[in-house]
Structure 1
């Protein structure tokens, strides 16, 4: 289950590129279980925020403080990109790789690989080259490769952006099961329907700033700002 103390605080975090502020200042306390969905128009800073939280984006100012030591926090996280990156190896080797890095015994690696190949519906493709999979299969493999490590926090950047309805449903089922098992999921999406289906909490970014945040039910039923109301209606928001 998720460690109740596995939380993160952002204080006056700013990210600048070529002298231009693309994110911040952000002040945010984030913890607890469930789904935190990061939404907002293109260019709002959603992916940048995810990378800041994961520690792969250099901040220009402010602090990012996990409630556990940084090395422990990093070990407890996984990140899935919008366009999944496949090792030029078999499905089996893609699933095995993160467990080999953890130094697990071969018997445990075999057990988990077989389990997760079944979970993601690729048990019949274990010896197939991963780069030859379909888009939906690659995304499921990337997700399985992240979840096989049993992370406490999983970051996802638009994991269903290029998928059809069936693949999206399968991905959402995997994510829901992971959240139920105790993984905290922090995810960007442009799909408001998906956010309504999954979100426990919402972070609404606009112009690099955290415009609104709070429980999903409150955000969707009674957004506080005109910009959030317009965004939920499908209007262009700048």
Structure 2
């Protein structure tokens, strides 16, 4: 049986089965003893241990400054984690080519940043780097997947609302055919309708493609709407791992206060 550094560490380890009637889910991302300290010596993350099952939506919530985005960015090496702390399908991500890793583990940020050119140019960009030319039909399919119609094909970034630009950024990320999608507050700047559109796409990607999604959000209600399991991060540590409908059972005092004020 394959073992990993820190497998004997059980504290705060994700053991929630997202389907009580199913077998233990396959682990897509495994995090062991992940720590980070600022340049001034201030702890940012303290020995994070968590398993992220394949094909689920995991929500990460917690107070500002608790290390949520830092943890997320470690999963595709936007900051370089220590060796043997983050594994993708059992492989240390530090041993993988970073560009290949980021194609497998795509990321959507809080504010969309589009390249110059048309929507189609943006969506075709990633595959072109690999020598693949997406056809018009393939671009249309990606637009549809991101809840946009074919009329957006030749539009430029200046013609789009923030919500539309975020969905184009999503289509651009999906063009790389990622296995995992990381979302860092992807709807915080969007109106309620655009937010619902993005949430609907996330649920469809999980259901239809079996995609693993890790989403940081300040919105507890949003996480409750779409997540299968929730990590509560406080002061750089995972203090609770619960199903969305069990958040009221959180025992950590800071987690309880955060949930009370956020609900």
Normalising by the smaller structure, the TM-score range is 0.7 to 0.9
- Kept in 1, the 8 Å contact 2:60–2:217? The answer is yes
Cα distance between partner residues in 2 of 1:127 and 1:74: 27
SS at match of 1:43: coil
Is the counterpart of residue 52 in structure 1 residue 78 in structure 2?
Answer: no
Partner residue, 1:230: 257
How many residues are paired up? 229
Cα distance between partner residues in 1 of 2:235 and 2:27: 28
CA drift at 1:122: 4.3
Select the residue among 169, 175, 179 that pairs with 2:206.
179
Is the counterpart of residue 112 in structure 1 residue 138 in structure 2?
Answer: yes
* Larger RCO: 1 or 2 (CA < 8 Å, sep 6+): 1
Partner residue, 1:17: 38
Cα distance between partner residues in 1 of 2:69 and 2:122: 24
CA drift at 1:150: 2.6
CA drift at 1:26: 1.0
Cα distance between partner residues in 2 of 1:76 and 1:39: 24
Select the residue among 216, 220, 235 that pairs with 2:244.
216
- Kept in 2, the 8 Å contact 1:36–1:202? The answer is yes
Cα distance between partner residues in 2 of 1:50 and 1:126: 31
SS at match of 1:54: coil
Taking structure 1 as the reference length, the TM-score comes to: 0.88
SS at match of 2:230: strand
CA drift at 1:109: 3.4
Is the counterpart of residue 168 in structure 1 residue 180 in structure 2?
Answer: no
Q: 1:109 to 1:23 in 2, by over 3 A?
A: farther
- Kept in 1, the 8 Å contact 2:109–2:185? The answer is yes
Q: 1:227 to 1:138 in 2, by over 3 A?
A: same
SS at match of 1:28: strand
Gaps of 5+ in 2: 1-24
CA drift at 1:217: 2.8
Select the residue among 146, 162, 169 that pairs with 1:135.
162
Taking structure 2 as the reference length, the TM-score comes to: 0.80
Provide, for residues 43-76 of structure 1, a one-character-per-residue CA deviation record: whole Å limited to 9, x for no partner.
1111000001122212368622222543365442
Gaps of 5+ in 1: none
Question: What RMSD, in angstroms, separates the aligned Cα atoms of the two structures?
Answer: 2.1
Q: 1:131 to 1:47 in 2, by over 3 A?
A: farther
Provide, for residues 158-192 of structure 1, a one-character-per-residue CA deviation record: whole Å limited to 9, x for no partner.
01001111111111111111111211110000111
Is the counterpart of residue 145 in structure 1 residue 172 in structure 2?
Answer: yes
